Structure 1
Amino acid sequence: MSESEPRGAWRYWDLIGIIVLSLLLDAIIVISQDSVIRKALGLAFVLFFPGYVFVTTLFPERKELDNLERLALSFGLSIVIVPLIGLALNYTPWGIRLKPILISLTIFNLIFALMAIYRRKTAIKPWIPWITLEEVKRELGWESASRFDKALTVILVVAIITSLGVLAYVVSHPKPGEAFTEFYILGPNGKAGDYPTDLKVGQNATVRIGIVNHEHRNVTYYVQIWLVNLTWDNRTNTTIIYEMYKMPGWFNVTLPPIPVNIEGNWTPEFEKNYTFSIERQGKWQLWFLLFKDRLPELPPAPPDGNYAETSARDLIIKAINGTIQSLKLNIYVHK
């Protein structure tokens, strides 16, 4: 540390800075959901600030620890403190979510920063991070070091700066999350229940089809609807399709990607009411098949409209095997 120590409020510049930056990060997260400043501050907020204020509170005197020890403990204790706070939150009604963690760490930083300010004020010879070029040279023993030692020091400093740059790049350019599509059907009241599973011949019924795009790109979705009569043969472990009819109401829609929001309330991106009726008695399965970007070609329509003996049956087989994203509704139709 420099012999010409700072005076007045500058004696606490580091602790006041942590308080200001912690509150600034809270404001940035509220205003901007995604920014480089948020990522950079968030990294220091989690990996450095908690340990730094804690170490400064415990060891306010200059003689107790040297600079490298304080730096190492600041990072090390932060890695310990943050998971402990998360563990405590896990047993509260708020859980481990962004806002509870943000508020808890902010309170922790504020409390210990204020305690550290008090401890530094009452210390006999307080440690104050007021580093000058001369002090850095003295710490490294630059004047008395050999050329080889100086070269190693320069290489080490360059390596540290490069590592910090790589870390900053990784944090500011995170790997995209998993790409997927939400595909669902709801009952006529918009709930996951009260599905029309028992109908009379020719009776109208309605379901709601929903799609949410999390593919990180614009996607054109195609929805096919098939009425299928099938059974499972236990002897041969195969699916036997007896009847397969094309239902009216096929549609397509192009949707932009939306991020996955695990914090706020879930909201639909696209929903469409689908009204149908079945003119044949028996036990049927209404299949909703979802395709991305292009629609598979179908064979020519049979005279009776039954695709069971055509290559279109492979669509249902693939849907059963999970190769095609699909939904199924079991329906019993009677007189």
Structure 2
Amino acid sequence: MRSYMAGNQKFPSDLLFVVGLVVLTDIFVLIPVLSESFIRIVLGLPLVLFLPGYALVALLFPTKTGLEGIERAALSVGMSVAIVPLIGLVLNNTSFGIKEVPLLASLSVFIILACAAAYVRRRQLPEDKTFGISFKASARSLLVEVMGKPESSMEKTLRTFLAISVLALVGSVAYVSIVPHDQEPFTEFYILGPEGKADNYTTEYVQGESGTVIIGIANHEHRAVNYTMDVRLENKSLPLPENLKNIKLDDNITLEEPLEITPSFEGKNMELEFLLFNETEKDVPYRDLRLWINVTKEA
């Protein structure tokens, strides 16, 4: 069998660009001084919405034939939308959880490995059949298409509309990225299972025995806030430790504390309420969460 592998073949420019963009994004996310820059947002969007799919499409379709450029781009977006949630699902079932650094590392490793595999596949093909992108030729072609002499008034109108649309898109992205926008004040209130994940909650209890949940409160109110909490089983308050009865959190501070639930009476499908009150309203819960539990008699 004839081999087309070329030992001196350069790393394809499109794959090199993708890998370089991944590394650059990692730098702007992980280095504290750079992570506050709007460039982090500009780089982060393609990392999530385009690059994972592009790397996989490059691996699956290494030849020029089969997919046109616009089809490749559309499929890259669609594949990215499918890949990122799957990676998040895998992370959620590990000790890392869905957090910024593990997600960034997982996406980066996936993209780089897919690009490396795509490069290996392309090396095994004749050079004239291998898919590749010349950025200089693409830019020249786009410039000719946009600025070239139109053949009709309709074509001129369409090209003008295309140019205005591209400028509007770039301007919108720049405005959203650069201009600071104050977030509406809010408080996150959540409960986690005993393993620190949003699943495996204890719902089956024996009367008098305890189960553990983790209470999470994150203050994004742009000021320090005094919270109070109440936990009720079938509208009857359960005892709480002092550190969870009255909670003071500074702005942008998150509290996660374990709480033991010890039901004192039996029942099926009983409502377990977690009620969080802020300092301005003591009678109406500011945030509330619910679990439904079963409690059986002690054997």
Pairwise same-fold verdict (TM > 0.5):
yes
Alpha-carbon separation, structure 2, partners of 1:159 and 1:35: 26
SS of 2:47 mapped into structure 1: helix
Match of 1:319 among 282, 293, 299: 282
Post-superposition Cα deviations, 1:43-72, rounded to whole Å, max 9, x if no partner, equal: 111011101111111112112222111111
Contact 1:19 1:109 in 2 (8 A): yes
For residue 176 of structure 1, what is the amino acid of its counterpart? Q
Q: Unaligned stretches of 5+ in structure 2?
A: 1-7, 190-217, 228-247, 258-276, 287-299
1:79–1:145 CA distance, 2 compared to 1 (3 A): farther
SS of 1:65 mapped into structure 2: coil
Contact 2:219 2:253 in 1 (8 A): no
Post-superposition Cα deviations, 1:197-248, rounded to whole Å, max 9, x if no partner, equal: xxxxxxxxxxxxxxx964325x6x899xxxxxxxxxxxxxxxxxxxxxxxxx
Alpha-carbon separation, structure 1, partners of 2:188 and 2:108: 36
Aligned to 1:178: 185
1:136–1:53 CA distance, 2 compared to 1 (3 A): same
Aligned to 2:68: 66
1:109–1:59 CA distance, 2 compared to 1 (3 A): same
Match of 2:122 among 109, 120, 123: 120
Alpha-carbon separation, structure 1, partners of 2:226 and 2:150: 74
Alpha-carbon separation, structure 2, partners of 1:72 and 1:27: 27
Aligned to 2:175: 169
For residue 178 of structure 1, what is the amino acid of its counterpart? P
Aligned to 2:222: 216
Query: What is the TM-score with the length of structure 1 in the denominator?
Result: 0.51
Post-superposition Cα deviations, 1:130-154, rounded to whole Å, max 9, x if no partner, equal: 1425533777896674231132123
Aligned to 2:234: none
What pairs with 1:267-278 in structure 2 (closer than 5 Å)? none
1:181–1:49 CA distance, 2 compared to 1 (3 A): closer
Aligned to 1:84: 86
Aligned to 1:156: 162
Alpha-carbon separation, structure 2, partners of 1:139 and 1:122: 34
Contact 1:57 1:112 in 2 (8 A): yes
For residue 15 of structure 1, what is the amino acid of its counterpart? L
Alpha-carbon separation, structure 1, partners of 2:145 and 2:63: 18
Quote the RMSD (CA, aligned, Å).
Answer: 3.8
Alpha-carbon separation, structure 2, partners of 1:123 and 1:143: 38
Contact 2:226 2:279 in 1 (8 A): yes
Contact 2:150 2:156 in 1 (8 A): no
Would you say 1:94 and 2:96 are equivalent positions? Answer: yes
Query: What is the TM-score with the length of structure 2 in the denominator?
Result: 0.56
Provide the aligned length of Structure 1 versus Structure 2. 206
Alpha-carbon separation, structure 2, partners of 1:154 and 1:260: 50
Aligned to 2:244: none
Alpha-carbon separation, structure 1, partners of 2:107 and 2:42: 16
Contact 1:214 1:259 in 2 (8 A): yes
Contact 2:54 2:77 in 1 (8 A): yes
Contact 2:50 2:77 in 1 (8 A): yes
Aligned to 2:46: 44
SS of 1:104 mapped into structure 2: helix
Aligned to 2:112: 110
1:148–1:259 CA distance, 2 compared to 1 (3 A): same
Alpha-carbon separation, structure 1, partners of 2:9 and 2:76: 25
Moved more, 91-100 or 35-44: 91-100
Would you say 1:18 and 2:18 are equivalent positions? Answer: yes
Post-superposition Cα deviations, 1:155-189, rounded to whole Å, max 9, x if no partner, equal: 1232134224324433554662534599xxxxxxx
